Amino acid sequence: MDVHFPTSSILSIVLQALLLSSSYGSLEPYDLLYNNAVDAFYRSDYKDVVRYMEGALSSYAEVRQTKVRCRLRCQDQHPFDSVSMDLQFFDVVLRRSNCQNECIEEKVGTQSMHKVSEDVNQDFQRRIPYNYLQLAYQKLKQLDKAAAAAHTYFQANPEHVEMDQNLEQYKALEGSDQDHFVDREARPHQRSFSAGVKLYDSADYKGAIALFEEALQEYYRADVECRALCQGPQRFEEQDHVLYHYSLYELVSDHFTQALHCEHECVRDLSTRPGRLSPMENYLPLHYDYLQFAYFQMNMVEEAMECAKSYLLFHEGEEFMTENLEYYREAVGHDVKPREKAEWYLRRHKQELELLVIGSENMQVEFTEGHYWTSTGGREDSNRIPSGTDGWMEYVPISEKKNFTLAPPQELREGGPLVYDSVQLVQNSKALNGTQRVLLDDVISVDECAELTNLAHNMRARGSVLSLGLQTVTMAGDGYRGKMSPHTPNERFEGATVLKTLQYGYEGRVPLRSARLFYDASERARRIIESYFLLNSTLHFSYTHLVCRTAITGQQDHRNDLSHPIHADNCLLDPEANECWKEPPAYTYRDYSALLYLNGDFEGGEFIFTEMDAKTVTAQVKPKCGRMVGFSSGGENPHGVRAVTRGQRCAVALWFTLDPLFRELERLQADEVMQALDNQSSQSQWDTSLNINPKDEL
């Protein structure tokens, strides 16, 4: 007898079977929970926002810790120490990989469920979920939790003006308590260190010692975890290149090169506080400096001597600590060894640490100034009192305090030829109330605007069709899953790079003619900027991005944020100090910027120039098809984008550099792809306008 089941029933049975066959430790993927939370936010279902987003954060943390535990366990079980031949090496690699896979799947379920796109991971690293949570908790009148979420987000995004304003409002509310403003993502080693400095500053040396010792233990533990996380799958940029061909040995080499680079960054990562401009120089040795003086104050001279010796491992021969060590040696009458952990760590990671402690010579003035003091501020009869660190909570190296301003060209000029007959000069620097600014029209035609806009839409559509779960084919930096803007939750943001569009065109996923137009239009913009500003050297691409911002319906009432906050393109804008700090993570090598607009049929979205205070607007540009604004990328041109309140705003964003060392890698690869396509076109008869996939011809 034939029995016919409904399709939905069959699918349900299959899904249940898959779930039952998976490990008992199956964990719900955090990207799925995150997506559900964002969808709930757009529906104004704030209870579900909290439920899903808190679940996503919990799942994210659990996956991370599981990877750490499993990789460390399998590393111990399958070491490389005894490997002497290639086959033995590959045997250990495979055994270790199998061990890790089994361990992780036992804890969290099938790993493919937890394979998350890079842009989702970046959202979690940038603490974007807490932006949603603070808004959701605010709507639910749970202001203590809203304050904690806002504080957590702001720690990693201190330039976010609107969140700063929100925090001030939370602090002003009746019943607000300082305990509500906690950093939920505080790293244990940094939390203990900061708390230790506070106690040290209040002369509670016993409490400070306990916290500094705890901070050291947490630091070394965090270092081990960071390096364990580097053992997983690595993404090597060259592998995304259409023309990149590789063998097994090259793949293995690429993987371990990336893993080593990742580990090399651990010292920097552990020394960088959330939202800080750069890692704190001398961070790890500083623990031993604090401890040596705190122990001295507690009359524990032998322990002080041990910490002083540990400090000198990192800064051999440093004068003030050498004098302290001599004082301690005379006091106890014998010598002691530095701490074994410090010796072991320095042996393994000396080169990495040198990059961060090399500036210590520049910091000696701050270290020694005010250091030779007693608790009463005077010298004792011994005339040699060990140094202290003077209790500065916000320790900033001298090199981080300097304002590294961009050295301008020998002569700032403008008014050169516009290269193309159709291009019209609308406003120069004087009309735009600034320097090195220009506004141009008719850079591209109406038809070209429409084609590029359609290209952006096609890239988004293809990303959706070809996605697996939440992992679209677009790469990090090309967009944010079409779900949100990186700057505001009130807009969707999507985009594509030149290389990605050419790859899609090469594979027949989008019209190849449109991908070529994107390439050609960006080159047109580069030539115009280089010519107009009369540059006496070649202007190179630094980054090119076709990007659309879309207002989210129902999220526009009472908006007080910007689509893109006020910033400068090659330095970190500090409105309070009225300065722009030219240092990482800013793209300090960028020299000129341009925005080529594709449409004007939307509300809001005006481009604005401001003074360095990020408040005083000096000029405003209303986008429209073919209009381009160009300007130098430094602190002389702070700029931002007003909120897009209705419709969609599309543009080609371009950044340029005069330094050939910082040419965009993707652009060089795109040049190669274009050359290959041209060669193919001249050698074969197939018509690229038909969107035939060249691979199908093989």
CA triplet 496, 560, 124: central angle to 5 degrees?
A: 50
Beta strands in 13-146 (DSSP E): none
Question: Residue 525 is encoded by which pair of tokens?
Answer: 């913009």
**For residues 376 and 203, is the Cβ–Cβ distance under 8 A?**
no
**For residues 496 and 461, is the Cβ–Cβ distance under 8 A?**
no
Strand partners, 649: 549
Which residue's entry shows tokens 């702070």? Answer: 638
Q: Are strands 648-657 and 592-597 parallel, antiparallel or unpaired?
A: antiparallel
Quote the CA–CA distance of 75 and 93 in Å, as a whole number.
10
Q: What is the DSSP track for 391-411?
A: T-SS---HHHHS--PPPPPSS
Strand partners, 252: none
Question: Residue 29 is encoded by which pair of tokens?
Answer: 């993927």
- Assign residue 442 a region: left if phi > 0, alpha if psi is -120 to 50, beta otherwise? left
Quote the CA–CA distance of 58 and 519 in Å, as a whole number.
42
Spatial CB neighbours of 158, under 8 Å, sequence gap ≥ 6: 164, 275
Which residue's entry shows tokens 């750490």? Answer: 68
Q: Is 649 a catalytic residue?
A: yes
Quote the CA–CA distance of 81 and 99 in Å, as a whole number.
17
The residue annotated as part of the active site, out of 184, 649, 663, 667, is 649
Quote the CA–CA distance of 349 and 351 in Å, as a whole number.
6
Q: What is the DSSP track for 329-366?
A: HHHHSS--PPPHHHHHHHHHHHHHHHHHHTTHHHHHHH
Rounded (10°) CA dihedral 151, 155, 160, 165: 30
Among candidate residues 409, 404, 406, 408, the one with its CA nearest the CA of residue 583 = 404
Quote the CA–CA distance of 477 and 469 in Å, as a whole number.
19
Rounded (10°) CA dihedral 144, 147, 148, 154: 180
Strand partners, 608: 620, 640
Quote the CA–CA distance of 155 and 452 in Å, as a whole number.
38
Report the SS3 class of residue 439: strand
Which residues are tagged catalytic? Answer: 649
